[in-house]
Structure formats: structure tokens, C-alpha cells
Amino acid sequence: MVRAYIGTYTKATSEGIYLVELSEEGKVLEVRNVAKVDNPTYLALSNDNKYLYSVSRVDGKGAVTSFEVEENGTLKELTSVAQEGNPPCYVELNSEKNTLLSANYHLGTIDSYSVENGELVKLLSTDHHEGSGVHERQEKPHVHFSGFTPSEKYVFSCDLGTDEITSYKLNEGVLEKVATFKAKDGSGVRHIVFSSDEKQAFVMTELTSEVIAFDYDGEGNLTNPAYYPTLPEGFSLENKGSAIKISNDNRFIYVSNRGQDAIVVFENTESGLKQLQTISTEGQGPRDFDLSKDNTLAIATNENSGTITVYIVNKKIGELTVVASEVVVPEAVCAKFI
């Protein structure tokens, strides 16, 4: 059996975090609510799957909440750390399980927190971004991502509001800025992933729906950007790029588009990215998707239709095949395989 947690908005009928249980072939066995949380829109799991972390709203404040994962998948709430303002939009935990990062779209900040025995202890540092961009949605900084490189030597953030990708080092959990790369004006950088050898990085842009491929030197510096469209020529509907993932073997890049309502698959070749497949999410507004740890399954979360779609992944050629769709999870916006 395979399990995945689904994060949601709770503006309408959702009750918080849901657990989806699947067969190895992707058949949906059960969907159930496992934690009642206000707006758990992004989730992170510890590498041993013992703890889960969620962005949330607590007593009207933006917060990050920690949970213990029980044997049956139910979540036991441990602690929350709250700040004034809107909740963060992204969280990620390091492998040593002692530092958590969050990104706050509304406040334009990246935060680091100390973690002990799965519990959030305190806020350690905050980096306030500055600036704006040319697009109407870029009136101020909007940090959409904060996460670790594979070696965890550096931290990176993506700022949709300023088109900037920034690297940091952590000094006893405190963020120290290293370098900033500015993408082309109005691109709206959203999420970044790295190859496991840390020689490449790939960024999904929200406003221009492109993948930016970079060379990465392993020391916090991005160079040689190449821009790849994810939409077909002449596509006329409004679209917002959302998530990006890389396969375990670094051969395939997966991205999701809201508007096109699809996942687009690229092959990562020596001469650049080659588009292989565009497959429908069979729902509206795929804000996120995730690959299972062994890269054999994928789940897309369709926010606007309140559904998830399950795919089988052909690891040899990278392509996806739908095995379950229109599975109801209200206001689904994030998927995290265990």
C-alpha cells in the first residue's frame, strides 16, 4: 500500500489534511481526513516519515504546525509557531530534522525555525525581500519557495514578485544571503529543483509558464539560463505555472499548468530540455503534484474542481498514464507521498 497526504484550503468544505491510500498500481483504496487544520496549503514530511509540518492559520495568525504521524496515518498535533499576518505558502525540513524553512508569499519573507524531537521550537531568522516587478502581480516581493539543495549545503528562495532566485547559507539555523540571480522581467519565478549531482537547477515560472534550466556550481551560484516554454504555440487561455519536480535519475522534469490544466513532461538531455508529453490533470487548477518516492506513481491536486488525479509513471520513458481521476478531496492544493 502507498500513502500520500493532501493539503487543502479550508475556505469552503475542506476540514484540513487528508490521507489517500493507494494500491501499488494506483487504485484509490481510501480517502479520509486525518487532521482538522485551518488552511494547510503546503506540507512537508521528515525523511523518516515520523513527523509532518504544515502551513496553517492559528488564532487569525499565519503559522507553521507540526504533527506526529501515527501508525494508521492519523496526525497528532504537536506545536505551532505563529506570526502576525497571512500564513506561509511553503515549508521544507532538513534531513537532520533540526531546521525548518518557510516562504511567505504575502509578507515577502523566508523564515528559518528550530526543531527538536519533531516539535517546532522557535523562529530563528527572517529575510525580508525588497523590490517589485513589471507585472501587475509584482507590486511587491512574493516569496513562493524556500528549500534546501540536495546536499543541504545551501538554501534557495524563489520570489515571484521580484523575479529573483536567492541563495543562502545557514549559520546555526540563521539565514545568511550568498547570491541572487534575476530572471527575465515578468517571469514570476515560483519553485526550483536541483539534479542530485547539483550540476543543474530548474525553475518553474508562474507568470510566463516557462522552465528555466541553469548550470549550478554547488556553491550557491546559478549561470547560463535557458528558457523553455511549457505551453503550445498559440495557447490563448489564461495560464499560471505551478509545480516542478525532477525524477530520481535526473532524466525527466515534470511541471504543472493551471489553465491548460495539465502536467508537461520534459526529457533532460545533454543538448537541453526536450518536451515529451502533455497530459490532462482531468480537473481544474492543478496547483501541485508529487511523485512517489520510487517514482512509480504521481498525484495531481486540482484546487478548483476539488479533486485529485493519480498516474502511473513509466520510469523508462518518463510518461504518465491516468489510473484514477475525479477522486474527491475538497480544495486540494498539495500532495506529499510518504
Contact 125, 84 (CB under 8 A): no
Q: What is the pTM of this model?
A: 0.98
Look up residue 321 and give its three cell numbers: 498514464
Give the integer Cα–Cα distance in Å for 191 and 175. Answer: 19
Q: Which residues pair with 97 in a beta bridge?
A: none
Give the integer Cα–Cα distance in Å for 51 and 58. Answer: 19
Phi, psi (rounded to 5 degrees) for 221: -115, 130
What pLDDT score does 100 carry? 98
Burial (CB count <10 Å: 0-12, 13-18, 19+), residue 267: middle
Contact 14, 31 (CB under 8 A): no
What pLDDT score does 306 carry? 99
Secondary-structure percent of the chain, ordered helix, strand, coil, rounded to 5: 0, 60, 40
How do residues 232-265 score in pLDDT, each as one tens digit? 999 999 999 999 999 999 999 999 999 999 999 9
Q: What is the length of the chain?
A: 338
What pLDDT score does 208 carry? 99
Instruction: List, for the chain, all residue ranges whose pLDDT scores fall below the cut of 70.
Output: none
Contact 278, 315 (CB under 8 A): no
What pLDDT score does 32 carry? 99
What pLDDT score does 201 carry? 99
Give Rg (Cα) of the chain. 18
Q: In what order do the strands lie in the sheet containing 16-22?
A: 28-36, 16-22, 2-8, 332-337
What pLDDT score does 17 carry? 99
The three-state secondary structure class of 309 is strand
Phi, psi (rounded to 5 degrees) for 220: 90, 5
H helices of the chain, in order, are: none
